[in-house]
Amino acid sequence: MFGSVFSGGVIKKAFEKGLVEIHVHDLRDFAYGKHRQVDDRPYGGGLGMVLKPEPVFRAVEKVKCKHEASIVLLSPQGRKFDFHMAQRLSKLQQVILICGRYEGLDERVVQCLATEEVSIGDYILTGGETAAMVVIDAVARLVPDVVGKANSVKYDSFYEGMLDFPQYTRPRQFKGMKVPEILFSGDHKKIEHWRRKKALEKTWLIRPDLLKKRNLSPEDKKILDEIRTEKEGKKNESD
Ligand code: ADE
């Protein structure tokens, strides 16, 4: 499952260059008994199976080798994963991701083993594996030298807590849709201002929560006022 996702692209190159290592462990290898059972019925009754604590503890004890490690339990009950969490994890020597499956996981793993519980969003996946892949991808690309200069994380929209401005490439006209004229002006200052305005507008419309979290510069505040006035003008025209 993990191999297919990381067998190409930027992350594969990072492994090859030795910038990042990833090891996948099967909990069954840490389960005892004839059937190597990793789950059992919940105490107190109820539907479904619960992941047993022993294989998870054993697995983590075996693989934990770095002092600076975070033991992350992926679960819909966790703190929401975001760019800042990815940045923090990318600076650690080791991140151990525990993927829950089944209907639940013994609470002792949550309370006494995991150092943090992380969710990638408000929905339920059938297992933590896909969530782990999201975390690995987002964290690995923040490790120095994993992505090239062109995609430098400095240019990530979330580095600044904003959404990206729109990008265009050839052809100049496609199915009657034109590329904004300003991008051909050659006036880099104007283009920069236009991009900033588009990024602010998109963030204001789609993710106003992001704008509330950051300290806007006086220039950004001015641009946002401009956007609001324009939008209100358009609304009044249509009323
Ligand atoms: N496992 C199941 N759903 C999940 C989610 N939303 N985030 C992380 N792990 C999960």
pLDDT confidence bin for 238, thresholds 50/70/90: confident
| Ligand 1 midpoint to CA 117 (Å) | 10
pLDDT value of position 147: 92
pLDDT value of position 151: 66
**Residue of 113, 134, 112 lying closest to 123 (CA atoms):** 134
Does residue 157 lie in a domain region? no
Atom nearest to 121 CA in ligand 1: 6
| Ligand 1 midpoint to CA 124 (Å) | 6
pLDDT confidence bin for 66, thresholds 50/70/90: confident
- Digit-coded pLDDT (tens) for 38-58: 999 999 999 999 999 999 999
Q: What is the CATH number of the domain that holds 52?
A: 3.40.1280.10
Answer yes or no: is the C-beta of 76 below 6 A from any ligand 1 atom. Answer: yes
pLDDT value of position 150: 64
- Digit-coded pLDDT (tens) for 181-196: 999 999 999 999 999 9
Lowest mean pLDDT among 147-161, 196-210, 217-231: 147-161
For range 207-234, the mean pLDDT: 93
Answer yes or no: is the C-beta of 99 below 6 A from any ligand 1 atom. Answer: no
Answer yes or no: is the C-beta of 51 below 6 A from any ligand 1 atom. Answer: no
**Residue of 221, 230, 169 lying closest to 200 (CA atoms):** 221
| Whether residue 203 sits in one domain with residue 124 | no
Residue with CA closest to ligand 1 atom 7: 119
Q: Known catalytic residues?
A: 76, 103, 141, 156
Q: What is the CATH number of the domain that holds 197?
A: 1.10.1270.20
| Whether residue 120 sits in one domain with residue 210 | no
Domain boundary among 116, 140, 164: 140
pLDDT value of position 192: 97
Lowest mean pLDDT among 6-20, 151-165, 175-189, 194-208: 151-165
| Whether residue 179 sits in one domain with residue 102 | no
Domain encompassing residue 33: 2-140
Work out the mean pLDDT of the chain and round it to a whole number: 94
Q: Which helix (H) or strand (E) holds 212?
A: helix 208-213
Does residue 151 lie in a domain region? no
Domain boundary among 94, 116, 140: 140
With a pLDDT cut of 90, the percent of the chain lying above it is 83
Answer yes or no: is the C-beta of 110 below 6 A from any ligand 1 atom. Answer: no
- Digit-coded pLDDT (tens) for 10-29: 999 999 999 999 999 999 99
| Ligand 1 midpoint to CA 133 (Å) | 11
- Digit-coded pLDDT (tens) for 86-132: 999 999 999 999 998 768 899 999 999 999 999 999 999 999 999 99
| Whether residue 114 sits in one domain with residue 66 | yes
pLDDT value of position 67: 83
Residue 44 buriedness (CB in 10 A; 0-12 / 13-18 / 19+): exposed
- Token pair, residue 160, equals 């600044």
| Whether residue 19 sits in one domain with residue 125 | yes
For range 224-229, the mean pLDDT: 95
- d(CA 202, CA 40) in angstroms, rounded, equals 48
pLDDT value of position 26: 96
Domain boundary among 140, 159, 181: 140
Q: Does the pLDDT of residue 156 top 90, yes or no?
A: no
Question: Furthest-apart CA pair in the chain: how many Å?
Answer: 75
CB 72 within 8 A of CB 135: yes
Q: How many domains does the chain have?
A: 2
pTM score, whole prediction: 0.92
